[in-house]
Structure 1
Amino acid sequence: MANIASLPVLLKELKLASFSKHWEDLAQKALDEQWLSQTYLAALCEQEAAERYQKRLHRFTREAQLPPGKHLSQFDFTAVSNINKNQITALTQQRQWVKQAENLLLFGASGVGKTHLACGLGYALIDQAIRVKFTSATAIVQSLQQAREGLSLAEALTRLDKYAVLIVDDIGYVKKSSQETQVLFELIAHRYETGSLIITSNQPFSAWDQIFDDNMMTVAAIDRLVHHATILEVKGESYRKKVSMKRREHIEN
């Protein structure tokens, strides 16, 4: 017969942290309320599953490196046109696009909220236990370029595969050099039909020849991105401009 005194050690060995924390309190509750042994075990399992889920969400949030304060609940949909809250909410609730490695492309002028929308979607997906990674286009291009110089580009791209959704912000600010645009194309090609990209850009496709230094590469990149994609154009007045004008009015008054 098992020795109850060894239970804490066994739970630690099995890495059942929540069991170890709650088994005694729940055991007393089970006695007081005359639970069946199955009910007691189910309660412990529920507690373990809930705590593991929360820890996983905390880990996903930490590794995603999303800018703070950019949740969908904080986005002012009345300040933009051409999109509405229902469109964005549908992307968080109908997650088939992530399972099928489809992309989301957000276009619009600087300051209209593209990054906020992308990050808000990222937070919402993490809440559903989907791994997300946020990066500026410039940062990931520099990182991949360093990996290429170290002959480890393939490994660097493969490491990104653990993220179901990769958010690449401000793709229009990538410098037009053969080294940088080549690794950007490698990223797009690598993710094609294997992982979702959320890309924000202040430049329409017609101006992407300013990003890639080769027209054929531009066409190939766009073709891979749009093949399975939702494309949204965000229109509105620059949020930063509005804040600046309000601050000026306050000072003048």
Structure 2
Amino acid sequence: MNAHFQLNGFVKSNEVCSLHKTQKILAGGNLICPMCANEFLAAEKSKQQAETNKAVFEKHIAGAMLPDRHAYSAFSNYQTRTQGQANTLNQCANYAQRISEKQCSNFIMVGSTGTGKTHLACATAKNLLKKGLKARYITSEEIAQRIMNAWDRDSKDQSEEAVIYEFAQYDLLIIDEYGLHDREKRTELVHKVLTKRYDSKKPTMLISNFTLKKLKDDLGDRLWSRFQHDGLTVVECNWNDARVINQ
């Protein structure tokens, strides 16, 4: 039979753990190794933390409102057939890294349809979401509509100012399809969001089918200057439409 004795408040046995070579203690009628017990508790804590992190990530990914078509878009599955595509991929990956390091700078991708701009934007968002940051994808038309919808509501927290403030809170706001909306008033509303993010020192990724010159003209001198203030990366996607190529 195993001998038992009291030591430091625990009933210890002369039975030794074959793994850790330490004496087992009597707990709940069972002999256990303290080191095995600690490793089990650490593993359980790690498992619980992983489950918590997963839940937070899933909540953030849902809040990011990424298009269903890009549910699996990532840096790793973006196809680079040209040097321009490879450069754009690297620029986006580097930008995600800078944002994760709390650097406030903006990013512009311009070019024709089917060049993978939205794919890379969503990949950038996912990269940040996995690091616990909050990113949001939205089109410029949707931004304008959200603000205009607030005009018809009586609730104070749904005012125009509240909607604009909401868009200023994300660690990264991705505005896609800039320019594909009715002009004048809607453009002014999108510019209000861009200005608020500038004032809040929050980075923005702006995507458009405009040429770079047309985008500059549309933003105007003042907003274009602000967009460059904390650093700006500009990528022109001038390769062929991949959607047509793959058909």
TM-score between the two structures when normalised by the length of structure 1: 0.72
Structure 1 residue runs of 5 or longer lacking an equivalent are 1-26, 213-217, 245-253
Greater mean alpha carbon deviation, residues 195-204 or residues 156-165: 156-165
CA distance in 1, matches of 2:56, 2:212: 37
**In the alignment, which of 94, 97, 108 is matched to residue 90 of structure 1?**
94
CA distance in 2, matches of 1:109, 1:50: 41
Greater mean alpha carbon deviation, residues 82-91 or residues 199-208: 82-91
Q: CA RMSD in A?
A: 2.8
* 1:243 CA drift (Å): 2.6
CA distance in 1, matches of 2:88, 2:189: 34
Answer yes or no: is 1:153 the counterpart of 2:155: no
Residue matched to 2:245? 242
Task: Give the match's secondary structure for 1:35.
Answer: helix
Change (3 A) 1:209 1:106: closer
* 1:59 CA drift (Å): 0.8
Alignment-mate amino acid for residue 162 of structure 2:
E
Task: Tell me which protein shows more strand as a share of its residues.
Answer: 2
Kindly indicate whether the alpha-carbon contact (under 8 Å) linking 1:106 and 1:200 is maintained by their aligned counterparts in 2.
yes
Change (3 A) 1:187 1:94: closer
CA displacement, residues 29-84 of structure 1 (integer Å, 9 cap, x when unaligned)? x9644327765554443233221111111111111111223222221122461625
Kindly indicate whether the alpha-carbon contact (under 8 Å) linking 1:79 and 1:237 is maintained by their aligned counterparts in 2.
no
CA distance in 2, matches of 1:90, 1:171: 23
CA distance in 2, matches of 1:129, 1:76: 27
Alignment-mate amino acid for residue 93 of structure 2:
T
Answer yes or no: is 1:100 the counterpart of 2:106: no
CA displacement, residues 71-123 of structure 1 (integer Å, 9 cap, x when unaligned)? 222211224616254333323334356x2332111111221111111111111
Change (3 A) 1:42 1:127: same
* 1:203 CA drift (Å): 1.1
Residue matched to 1:24? none
Alignment-mate amino acid for residue 55 of structure 1:
A
CA distance in 1, matches of 2:162, 2:169: 12
* 1:234 CA drift (Å): 1.8
Task: Give the match's secondary structure for 1:81.
Answer: helix
CA distance in 2, matches of 1:112, 1:101: 26
State, as a whole percentage, how many aligned pairs show the same letter: 22
Paired residues, what number? 210
Answer yes or no: is 1:187 the counterpart of 2:190: no
Residue matched to 1:5? none
CA displacement, residues 10-33 of structure 1 (integer Å, 9 cap, x when unaligned)? xxxxxxxxxxxxxxxxx99x9644
Report matched runs for 1:1-253 at 5 Å: 32-35=32-35, 39=39, 41-67=41-67, 68-79=71-82, 81=84, 83-95=87-99, 99-148=102-151, 150=153, 152-177=159-184, 179-192=185-198, 193-208=200-215, 211=218, 218-228=220-230, 229-244=232-247
Change (3 A) 1:84 1:105: closer
Kindly indicate whether the alpha-carbon contact (under 8 Å) linking 1:144 and 1:153 is maintained by their aligned counterparts in 2.
yes
Larger Cα-atom Rg: 2
Change (3 A) 1:131 1:236: same
Structure 2 residue runs of 5 or longer lacking an equivalent are 1-26
Residue matched to 1:4? none
Greater mean alpha carbon deviation, residues 34-43 or residues 151-160: 34-43
Alignment-mate amino acid for residue 145 of structure 1:
M
